[in-house]
């Protein structure tokens, strides 16, 4: 068999079981019992005696069979939730501003230390400046972890990461 014939054969095997499947239709019978309780079944032999059929109006909720409406939500709870959301958003924005400011200061300190490192000739001074740079990098890592752990929006975390990208690992 060629590749074309095999493909046609497998497609026909896959589709054929679905073509012969019977349709699933069910008739639902509804009525109201003597006690006024709605009764539903798919077998008319199970309808209890004294059960009268529901009309179209009853099925639409205009008569004996009513559709239960969900209880109204309290506006106080909604307002409290909205206030909490606004406060949380303010707190997140304040935290983001603080972290951005800290990141910018850290980058400025790094650039100043780098400039001092390139200008100095004394070995002892260079070792001290390199220690400062290591400390700045540790503070950068701590700040990145704090930004990731905080519940900041993605955009603010990305901005902080971009600011701190000026300090190489």
Residue-wise pLDDT for 95-110, tens only, equals: 889 989 999 999 999 9
What pLDDT shows up at residue 16? 59
Number of separate helices (H) and strands (E) present in the chain:
5, 3
For residue 134, is pLDDT > 70? yes
Let me know if residue 141 belongs to a domain: yes
**Dihedral sign computed on CA atoms, order 126, 128, 130, 132:** negative
DSSP E strand boundaries for 3-148:
29-32, 38-41, 52-53
For 66-99, b/e burial (b = at least 16 CB within 10 A) is: eeeeeeeeeeeeeeeeeeeeeeeeeeeeebbeeb
For residue 91, is pLDDT > 70? yes
Let me know if residue 133 belongs to a domain: yes
Let me know if residue 7 belongs to a domain: no
Let me know if residue 82 belongs to a domain: no
**Can you tell me the distance from the alpha carbon of 154 to that of 9, in angstroms, rounded to the nearest whole number?**
51
Residue 32 forms beta bridges with which residues?
38, 52
What's the whole-model pTM score?
A: 0.51
pLDDT over 70 percentage in the chain: 73
Tally of domains in the chain: 1
Kindly state the average pLDDT of the residues 131-150: 89
Domain extent, residue 126, equals 89-166
Kindly state the average pLDDT of the residues 56-80: 57
Q: What is the pLDDT of residues 15-28, one digit of tens each?
A: 655 555 555 556 77
Let me know if residue 24 belongs to a domain: no
Let me know if residue 157 belongs to a domain: yes
């Amino acid at each position: 068999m060629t590749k074309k014939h095999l493909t046609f054969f497998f497609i026909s095997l896959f589709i054929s079981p679905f073509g012969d499947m019977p349709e699933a239709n069910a008739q639902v019978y509804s009525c109201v019992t003597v006690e006024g309780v709605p009764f539903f079944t798919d077998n008319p032999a199970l309808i209890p005696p004294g059960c009268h059929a529901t009309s179209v109006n009853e099925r639409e909720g205009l008569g004996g069979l009513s559709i239960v409406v969900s209880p109204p939500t309290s506006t106080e709870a909604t307002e409290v939730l909205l206030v909490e959301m606004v406060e949380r958003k303010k707190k997140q924005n304040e935290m983001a501003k603080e972290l951005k400011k800290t990141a910018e200061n850290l980058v400025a300190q790094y650039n100043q230390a780098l400039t001092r490192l390139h200008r100095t000739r004394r070995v002892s001074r260079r070792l001290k400046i390199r220690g400062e740079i290591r400390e700045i990098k540790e503070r950068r890592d701590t700040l990145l972890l704090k930004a990731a752990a905080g519940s900041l929006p993605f955009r603010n975390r990305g901005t902080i990461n971009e600011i701190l990208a000026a300090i190489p690992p």
